Chains A and B, each alone.
Chain A
């Protein structure tokens, strides 16, 4: 009960932040521009096909182009959700210690782990709602403007939520240890490292460079967000698109296995439990 109360408080509190509204505004702007862009793409293709006497291109089928467009949309949504997660949760514990808010909460009849669990749940609910909304926006745009429906979109959304859950776990743990400012720097560095590590791995694969591949794998062990994104991007593309486009910064043709998902879930659970243990001993 207390956990749900704190989750509710965290959710309400997050919606008070200007940062969140800035991200929501940017997201709305993005969706409008995305719909506009999709319309242009479709017009172009229709025009191109007509110039060829109504015969669609076989070298680059429409579905592949529309799928690339969807991937671009989801990549942006994933990025915005990541930023939002980190900004929202960066001071979740440290900030409340600094402001003195926790001084009046901890003496109440509740356990400290309930504070962590509640805050995690509150942020998770917010991010999941945001992702569901944004993916719906992208898919509806694709369907009604682009006349293309990407496959496995529920599965893909779940994986995108997992990406944000990884970042949330990392940010929460950091918040129980470091000050808000230090935590922000550390988590953004790790997030950047994960993205770069994923790229290094792909380039390593392309060049057959084992060292680069190893670096990539190691970074995805430390922060598995990028490997889950790769998996998400893989499942929402039709196989024809995956085979045709091949590896690129937004996706991959060699997705991580289900092991990666299991690892990511264990990773999140471990980080949350560690946060609880650290916070239990923390002097306020």
Chain B
């Protein structure tokens, strides 16, 4: 199963590149066999990925897959055991690259006696921004994250969601080329999530690169151009959301007059995933087919077999299903 996914991902990658990246524009993020080992436990086995400038990149994986460790290595918080990584074409820790990067940690914390405004002023200084730049930029980002009305209040009076917004403001303060967001919406309510999604969309329109680390699959599906799913510290799948979930069609059939011969008939066309007989005498069958053409043929077969067809519902696969498939497949693998 894992091999199947991987082969699909290579196909997806080539399809997903309408225009090859210009050679003089470095990748926003580029890692090669990035590895982190703690004693005997492997946190990240060998991460190789590339993020092009200007794309919104989703970084997915189950808990403990090594997502946060990977991001921390890119942010210089954790030293890789081996491997290589570049941000904007420069090695990790490069001051020029760091100047163009924004980072929102998973749990943003800072001295809680500072007001939102003071917090951003200090971070502006840390970015090396001039006083004039800070005067212009601080109110801008406070407005952007919806904290302008609370800018004079100390952080300790902020709710969790507001602290996270302050963290987001801090990450956007230097007008970065690449923004790393580690679970930016986990502390937010649905309204806050929507706002963050809109901010991410605005960033994309402004030509920024966004590296979004999230476990909220629907969110990633909504905003990301390209996704990498990691599991067990390795890349399990990569590609555009559409290509990753594009696969053989699956349909849900509701038919009447069920008899075992019909099963034989259906299995000539595809694979029966699920079969359920309801009390009303109808049968619901989930059938995986080779292509769309097969859907028409199945319906024709059923009509010939005098089985009434009540409904044919194409079953749209989601990123979540792919995700679960990858996670459960490798879970079995590691048990062996």
Contacts and interface: CB of A to CB of B under 8 A. Distances in A.
Given A13-B111, A104-B103, A104-B167, A110 B76 contact: no
A145 to B, nearest CB: 39
B77 A110 contact: no
25 contacts: A1-B128, A2-B126, A13-B111, A16-B113, A100-B105, A100-B109, A101-B110, A103-B75, A104-B103, A104-B105, A104-B108, A104-B109, A104-B110, A104-B170, A106-B77, A107-B77, A107-B101, A108-B98, A109-B95, A109-B96, A109-B128, A110-B98, A111-B95, A283-B79, A284-B78
Contacts of B78: 283-284
Interface of A: 1-2, 5, 9, 13, 16, 99-111, 281, 283-284
- 7 closest pairs, A vs B, by CB? A100-B109, A103-B105, A109-B98, A284-B77, A108-B126, A107-B103, A107-B75
Contacts of B125: 5
Instruction: Identify which of B95, B103, B125, B126 gathers the most chain A CB atoms within 10 Å of its CB.
Output: B126
Contacts of B258: none
Interface in B81-137: 93, 95-96, 98-99, 101, 103, 105, 107-111, 113, 122-123, 125-128
Contacts of A16: 111, 113
B164 to A, nearest CB: 12
A216 to B, nearest CB: 41
Contacts of B98: 107-110
Interface of B: 72, 75-79, 93, 95-96, 98-99, 101, 103, 105, 107-111, 113, 122-123, 125-128, 167, 170, 180
Contacts, number: 67
A231 B101 CA distance: 51
Contacts of B79: 281, 283
Nearest to A5: B125
A111 B125 CA distance: 14
A136 B116 CA distance: 39
A282 to B, nearest CB: 8
A104 B102 CA distance: 9
Given A5-B125, A9-B122, A102-B77, 10 more contacts: A2-B126, A100-B108, A103-B75, A103-B108, A103-B109, A108-B98, A108-B127, A109-B95, A283-B77, A284-B72
B178 to A, nearest CB: 11
Contact of A106 (B76, B108, B113): B76
Nearest to A110: B126
A104 B106 CA distance: 10
A281 to B, nearest CB: 6
A113 B69 CA distance: 22
B163 to A, nearest CB: 11
Contacts of A111: 93, 95
Contacts of A108: 98, 123, 126-127
A16 B76 CA distance: 29
A154 B6 CA distance: 73
Contacts of B105: 100, 103-104
Contacts of B122: 5, 9
A103 B123 contact: no
A5 B126 contact: yes
Contacts of B96: 109
B283 to A, nearest CB: 55
Contacts of A2: 126, 128
A5 B134 CA distance: 15
A116 to B, nearest CB: 15
Contacts of B101: 107
Nearest to B128: A109
Nearest to B38: A283
Contacts of A110: 95, 98, 126
A16 B118 CA distance: 15
Contacts of A105: 126
A13 B118 CA distance: 13
A106 B127 CA distance: 11
